[in-house]
A and B are shown apart, each in its own frame.
Chain A
Amino acid sequence: MYVIVAGGGKVGYYLAKALVEEGHEVLVIERDRARCERVAAELGDIVLRGDACEVTTMERAGFNRADMVIAVTGDDEDNLVVCQVAKARFQVPRTMARINNPKNADIFRRLGIDHTVNATDAILAHIEQELPVQALIHLLSIRGGFLEMVEVRVPPHSAVVGKKIKEVLLPQQSIIALVIEEDGNPKPPDPETVLRAGDKVVVVTRRENEEALREILTSPYGPLSLRK
């Protein structure tokens, strides 16, 4: 596979190194001369000095034959543009971007970036796995505890972010009663309502379905039962 890595800082360097070790053809694009020299000294002649956001640099790098472009500079806006231009101009089949602000995951996805990675969310996801109950708050019991009304906050890494309510497969006898947007604005849900990171979703569900519900709304991989 031909993989182009935009950004030759620490992340770019170790990523390129790992990819080379796995036998891929790799090219690192980096603006800074000293960083280019460091990567070249360690990994050999796989560095192109230039601005990866410039189409002329992309042409020299051979974006048109890249199987994957991974943008890992320290600036989210640069990573976005590298990936968007890679798709729009060079039809690169797969693009991946490092994001520094976890809240950018949603907009990157909507703008067609195939995958985003960020350290903050990776760490948060582990914390939330350690403390699973935090994501779900009991609001009240209905019908003698047979039904519960609960509130679930949709974390940025959740698989339901960007999905419409009608596309989310809820456990049986569960109904989304209300969606409270991050800024506190409540809105009645309809099948077309798109779930966003940070939304609080108020759901009426059966007590025994709580865990499944939490999993569906908060896990990065979707419901447990559908995982491979």
Chain B
Amino acid sequence: MKVVIMGCGRVGAELAAQLDREGHQVTVLDINPDALRRLPPDFRGRRVVGNGIDQDVLRRVGVGDADAFIAVTQGDNRNVMAAQIAKEIFGVRKVVCRIYDPIREEIYRGLGLETVSPTRIVVNMLREALAREPAARGEES
């Protein structure tokens, strides 16, 4: 599978490294050249410095031929815009977009984007953790 990942933070770099190890063709795009250093030394995919909301940059990295596009920069709005360009202009079939703001995430899910809100997910996990009985200290197992 050809995958383009926009944003090489912790999540982008980790996802890229895993997919690369599994044998996928991965391209990682980040506006900041230093961010691409997060990729492991044995990463075989492509590293590209560029702005993912610029259609010319997306065309250059071959988004038109990609099977999937993942938008995971720190900016919700950048992710939303790049994801919609990948979907509408380049016709990428699988587009996933990270949106921290749960309200915006809900709105864009309603507009047909496949979205992930880390905020919502972590809040739910914390609530589940809170609901569990605390493990008693010093108790024998």
Chain A interface (Cβ within 8 Å of chain B)?
A: 53-56, 75-78, 80-81, 84-85, 88-89, 101, 103-104, 106-107, 110-111, 183
Contact = CB atoms under 8 A, between A and B. Distances in A.
Contacts of B84: 107, 111
Nearest to B64: A183
Nearest to A58: B103
Given A53-B104, A88-B111, A103-B56, A81 B77 contact: yes
Given A53-B76, A55-B101, A89-B107, 14 more contacts: A53-B77, A55-B104, A77-B77, A77-B80, A77-B81, A81-B76, A81-B77, A81-B81, A81-B104, A84-B111, A106-B89, A107-B81, A107-B88, A111-B88
A89 B76 CA distance: 17
Nearest to B53: A77
A88 B103 contact: no
A183 B77 contact: no
Interface of B: 53-56, 59, 75-78, 80-81, 84-85, 88-89, 101, 103-104, 107, 110-111
Contacts of B80: 77, 80-81, 84
Contacts of A53: 76-77, 104
Contacts of B77: 53, 75, 77-78, 80-81
Contacts of A110: 88-89
Contact of B55 (A75, A77, A84, A107): A107
Interface-central residue, B76, B81, B101, B107, by most chain A CB under 10 Å: B81
Top 10 closest pairs, chain A to chain B, by CB: A77-B77, A77-B81, A55-B103, A81-B77, A77-B78, A80-B81, A78-B77, A103-B55, A88-B107, A110-B88
A107 B85 contact: yes
A135 to B, nearest CB: 21
A21 B31 CA distance: 41
A53 B105 CA distance: 12
Nearest to A78: B77
B101 A107 contact: no
